[in-house]
Amino acid sequence: MTRNFRLFSHGAILAGVFLAVSLLAAPPAHAVKADELVKINSATIDPPLQAGGSSTLTVAAIVIPDWHINSDKPFSEDYIPTKLQVSGPVSVTPGAIKYPPAETMTLDPAAGGDKISVFGGDLKFEVPLKAAADFAPKPGDELTVTIDYQGCNNNECLRPASVSTTVALAAPGAAAGALEGIAAGGSKNGGIGGGDDDSAGAIEHIFLNHGWFLGFLAVFLGGLALNLTPCVYPLIGVTIAYFGNQGGGPRRVMYLAILFVLGIALTFSSVGVAVAMSGGLFGAAMRNPFVLIALSMMLLALAASSFGLFVLQPPQWIMQRAGAAHPGYAGALLMGLGMGVVAAPCIGPIVLGLLLMVEKSGSALFGFALFFTLALGLGLPYIGLAMAAGHIRRLPRSGEWLTWVEHLFGFVLVGLALYFLDTVVPNNLMTRFLPYYAAGVGIYLGFISREGRSWRPFLVMRSTLGVVAIAALAFLLYPRQAPEKLRFEPFNSELLASAAEARKPVLIDFSADWCIPCREMEHSTFVDPSVVSEAKRFVRMKANLTAQDKKTEELTSKYEIQGVPTTMLIDSAGKVAQRKVGYIGPQEMLADLRQVD
């Protein structure tokens, strides 16, 4: 019982691998202007501000779909942070601004795998206000709210921009007029922000870019994947015993099974609704380094239990209540509710990312639907088990292979603890260490562990894992020569004129330090051997548009630069042959270079 419960409590953490669905390519975004990325929907003061009193200014804004802006605390100094500024009469003093929960995007591993902190979707800013004792607003007195930001999508970055609105102090609480900006046809996607989240980023990305159907389908498949772990092993025997003792025909048993699964789904859905109504507390907590450290310590403690350092066992009455055979339809529903309570702690670490999605949306309906779908995926196999309950006499016995699997879950828990510590430890040290950790764990479980040797099929399986781990470690340790990078000269008008006189083609890369796709091109496109070889016949220049000064304005105006990266190709006759905005991959860049003489 003890071993089974430890597996039951920790096993489904491995299913997080199945929930990490591969990121799907986002569709190309429509052309927008920098000052159209963010719209302030409302700005309200509640309660009304009075002399000597305090209040809260709440600013609701939205980032248009398929785009994101840097958070208030980006991970690199090169990225321009989002700042909200409040200005007004000296008798009103704004306090520390509460920014919305940030999302973490992970760039394409081929582009260096850097992480960035961004805002997307619906945003809510809160600013405490303090009024002086002589505060006496007159008609026309107002606060000015400004959001400074710099936005990107997966393809390009636009120049830094600002949006502003005002709040009348003489008539507090009224909604401020929104500025022009967002296209009328844009949807909010249930409040899900843009970008790739590192915990539920794949699922969130699917919802944002591929619609509700594929999003919920991915969640449903993730629920099914939970059944591939020994986490549900203790529930199988209970389920078979319960439905095997029920009378009636197959139709009645099927109805009972559906109510059983419905009970599990209701338990899970209540979690989603509670988080959606938490008012942002959950997401804010997950940004706190002390919370992340505490969570990592909890995961390490659970891992210690998996390694047998101490026994973690539920009260016996809980298991008895969960497995009690209550007759009838109401009994099946109650049993499902009980099973949901027992299973909820089991998948807790996996659904943290989903909980962040629900909390960010603030929609109880979305939270209910998301976790109801996850629970349906988890519970669907039980309907088949119920229908076959009368024919299943004995479950496979557990043995030392189960101890081996338990140790595997312990190592997974340690890996999750390291992952949560990544934002606390500087320079993404944990992220860089995790691949070597995974390879080492695979070698240990494949060849060193004493468990699972007596059953030959299992021995073959674990040995295969060890071989794969050795190959992965060899790949990680294999010395690689740094690829040759394409060299650029700083943009110079005289060099451009010289190229025209010498009748040489020109490649100009317009970029900026805060441009994320620009960095992707530096790590992928401009190190591709074919691109480097073909581009050597070009005069290559890089125009850095980071600084917002007169020189940058002249360049962007002269060459009609709408966003970065912008790649311009000029042929040997001095004519602009091509101007492309956004990320260009190696193959596309090679084809473009070959078309220019």
Question: Residue 418's domain spans which residues?
Answer: 399-478
Residue with tokens 């980032």: 63
Tokens of 543: 């125009």
Residue with tokens 């290559």: 540
Q: Is residue 68 part of a domain?
A: yes
Tokens of 431: 């992220």
Q: Are residues 53 and 160 in the same domain?
A: yes
Q: Are residues 235 and 345 in the same domain?
A: yes
Q: Alpha carbon 419 to chain centroid distance?
A: 13
What is the spatial distance between Cα 18 and Cα 136, in angstroms, rounded to a whole number?
60
Q: What pLDDT shows up at residue 281?
A: 54
Q: Are residues 414 and 468 in the same domain?
A: yes
Q: Are residues 170 and 218 in the same domain?
A: no
What is the spatial distance between Cα 561 and Cα 579, in angstroms, rounded to a whole number?
9
CATH number at residue 68: 2.60.40.1250
Dump pLDDT digits (tens) for 572-589. 999 999 999 888 989 999
Q: What pLDDT shows up at residue 562?
A: 78
Dump pLDDT digits (tens) for 38-48. 999 889 898 88
Helix (H, G, I), strand (E, B) or coil at 222: helix
Q: Classify the C-alpha dihedral 331-334-340-342 as positive or negative.
A: negative
Q: Are residues 419 and 509 in the same domain?
A: no
Q: What pLDDT shows up at residue 100?
A: 94
Greatest mean pLDDT among 111-120, 215-224, 482-491 lies in 482-491
Averaged over 400-422, what is the pLDDT?
78
Q: Is residue 26 part of a domain?
A: no
Res. 509: pLDDT tops 90: yes
What is the spatial distance between Cα 578 and Cα 592, in angstroms, rounded to a whole number?
8
Helix (H, G, I), strand (E, B) or coil at 242: helix
Dump pLDDT digits (tens) for 255-266. 777 887 787 778
Averaged over 327-338, what is the pLDDT?
68
Q: Is residue 282 part of a domain?
A: yes
Among residues 369, 393, 417, which one ends one of the domains? 393
Dump pLDDT digits (tens) for 129-165. 999 888 888 877 889 999 999 888 878 888 888 999 9
Q: Check: CB of residue 88 under 8 Å from CB of residue 121.
A: no
Res. 323: pLDDT tops 60: no
DSSP 93-142: EE---BPPPPEEEE--GGGT--EEEEE-SEEEEEEEEEE-TT----TT-E
Q: Are residues 427 and 359 in the same domain?
A: no
Among residues 393, 425, 447, which one ends one of the domains? 393
Q: Are residues 68 and 161 in the same domain?
A: yes
Dump pLDDT digits (tens) for 348-365. 545 655 666 666 566 778
Q: Are residues 494 and 533 in the same domain?
A: yes
CATH number at residue 578: 3.40.30.10
Residue with tokens 């025909």: 249
What's the CA angle centered on 108, arms 110 and 83, to 5 degrees?
135
User: Could you tell me the pLDDT band of residue 295, with boundaries at 50, 70 and 90?
Assistant: confident
Q: What pLDDT shows up at residue 13?
A: 39
Question: Using a CB cutoff of 8 Å and minimum separation of 24, what contacts does 577-583 make?
Answer: 577/505, 581/156, 582/28, 582/155, 582/156, 582/517, 583/154, 583/155, 583/156, 583/517, 583/520, 583/521, 583/525
pLDDT, mean over the chain:
75
Of 168, 159, 164, nearest to 40 by C-alpha is 164
What is the spatial distance between Cα 597 and Cα 201, in angstroms, rounded to a whole number?
43
Among residues 145, 165, 191, which one ends one of the domains? 191
Q: Is residue 25 part of a domain?
A: no
Q: Are residues 278 and 307 in the same domain?
A: yes
Q: Is residue 28 part of a domain?
A: no
Helix (H, G, I), strand (E, B) or coil at 70: strand
Q: Alpha carbon 466 to chain centroid distance?
A: 31
Res. 248: pLDDT tops 70: no
Q: Is 97 left (phi over 0), alpha (psi -120 to 50) or beta?
A: beta
Q: Are residues 467 and 497 in the same domain?
A: no
Q: Are residues 169 and 82 in the same domain?
A: yes
Q: Is residue 580 part of a domain?
A: yes
Tokens of 243: 């439905």
Averaged over 366-383, what is the pLDDT?
79
Q: Is residue 151 part of a domain?
A: yes
Res. 319: pLDDT tops 90: no
Q: Alpha carbon 276 to chain centroid distance?
A: 17
| DSSP conformation class of 243 | H
Helix (H, G, I), strand (E, B) or coil at 456: helix
Q: Are residues 342 and 366 in the same domain?
A: yes
Of 157, 32, 78, 160, nearest to 515 by C-alpha is 157
Into how many domains does the chain fold? 4
Q: Is residue 29 part of a domain?
A: no
